[in-house]
Structure 1
Amino acid sequence: MPEAGNPHKATMAVMFAVGAAVLAAADAVIVRAPDGAVHPSVIDFLRLPLVAFGGLALFGEHIALTTFLGGGLICCAALLAARSGKATSA
């Protein structure tokens, strides 16, 4: 039963467990997939907008402008890196 001071403690524990399970599943997919079939950054880049819109839809949280700016910066950097054609090591 959640404490009176923090009613969201149980919800946060579930979110932690689900998040850890998702990361473990993503790692398993990346390890077992053939080279080049799954790229880790695709999963990382999709996490931000999915979590932001999920929070809006499920909890009514408003998405801060800085979230969109950060996501745009990440996307621009990924596009620049992809267009450079240089291979990078992870």
Structure 2
Amino acid sequence: MPAKKAARKKVVARKHEVRAELSNVELVKARSSLKLTVYAKDEKLGEIQIGRGALYWWGKNRKNHKRIDWSRFAEMMDGLAYGTQSS
């Protein structure tokens, strides 16, 4: 029986990089959040801070954030992923 050929892995250059910062190990506590900084080709796209009540987005070079609660975020993602809008 011939030996199996090893599948060749396609080497793809990574376009995005995400750096994480955790302010409190237990996210169930108040004042705890996960902060992600997103880059594309070494250029900052923005920051997202994920907490218990909502998530916050700061676009590239922005000083103010946009607050999105979890219900609104779910609606937005459903619309993007499935093309549906819930009432």
TM-score range, shorter chain: under 0.3
TM-score, structure 2 length as denominator? 0.26
Structure (1/2) with the larger strand percentage? 2
TM-score (norm 1): 0.26
Structure with greater Cα Rg: 2
The structure that is helix-richer by fraction is 1
Which structure has more RCO (C-alpha within 8 Å, separation ≥ 6)?
Answer: 2
